[in-house]
Amino acid sequence: MPATIDLLTSPTLKHLRERWWNDDFTEFLAETLRPRPGNRILDVGCGEGNAQVRLGRLHVSQLRLFGVDLVIERVMVARHEAGAHNQRVGYACADACHLPFRDGAFDSTFCVAVLQHIGDVQAAVREFARVTAPTGRVLALEPDNEARYWFSSTPGGVRAFEVSTRFFGALGAARGDLTDAKVGPRIPSLFTTHGIDPIAVRMFPVSQTQLGPYEESVWQRRRDVVQQAIDQAPTNTVRDLGREYLQVLDAYAAEATQAGPSFVEIQNTMLFATVGQKRE
């Protein structure tokens, strides 16, 4: 997968839905969902329709693709993209915990980096099982947002990661974020509870390695993201922590620039793809 992670600007992979998709992942999706002529496949949390465009390029005869997303603006973009590629896709604005489809309506159901946004993951997986036909495939690809590896060759980098973790953690708590940070590796157990037999788990690493100092534009983007989070913070305590983080980030940038070609920064986290089959 492409390098699209920055742990200093987000404590989760919630921003990656549209950015790391590539041909290898499309191939994995096709192998997993096993689309056949006439199949009906549902993408829960379809975003801007990336999956439908890529699956449509497989040219499976009479394949019927559907996508739902909670955000109407994304659904509108997805519809436009499908039309631009001369593809017929059914889209709707809907909640993953209350899907507007009959029982067993789809041969396969999947979601990519969606359950990490949902407070009631049990309800969402229950809906996946309900709308999937017996023996149909269910796929959920989700991260473990607590399993993050970080290395920096400068002390300022270590400090920046520590303060960023505290800042984004405090921001989430102040906003009442009740989502499960470790949802990725917990999917097999959730599947079993709701009548889906897990048959495979595959891990996709998401990594970023930097050798030598970043360009100033990278540091500025990091500052901008943090400043935006500060501006949207609901309490003075979180805003104060954000301002502290900006100072630490500036110090880290200075250290990295001074280190020159000896500067190293390594980041890594993991996405868990759980494949299941609906029980008969």
* pTM of the full structure: 0.86
Residue-range domains of the chain with CATH: 23-145+182-205+271-278 (3.40.50.150), 149-175+213-262 (no CATH)
**What are the distances in angstroms from CA 106 to CA 92, 132, 187, 207?**
15, 5, 20, 34
What pLDDT is recorded for position 1? 36
**What are the distances in angstroms from CA 76 to CA 7, 44, 51, 79, 83?**
30, 15, 15, 5, 11
CB count within 10 Å of CB 262 equals 12
Helix (H) or strand (E) holding 84: helix 72-84
Rg (CA), the chain: 20
Helix (H, G, I), strand (E, B) or coil at 183: helix
What pLDDT is recorded for position 177? 81
What pLDDT is recorded for position 229? 93
What pLDDT is recorded for position 20? 55
- What is the chain's pLDDT, residue by residue, as a tens digit (280 residues)? 344 678 898 877 665 555 556 677 778 888 888 888 999 999 999 988 888 888 888 878 888 999 999 999 999 999 998 888 888 889 999 999 999 999 999 999 999 889 998 999 999 999 999 999 999 999 999 988 888 899 999 999 999 999 999 999 899 889 888 788 899 999 999 999 999 999 999 988 888 899 999 999 999 999 999 999 999 999 999 999 999 999 999 999 999 999 999 999 999 888 899 999 999 8
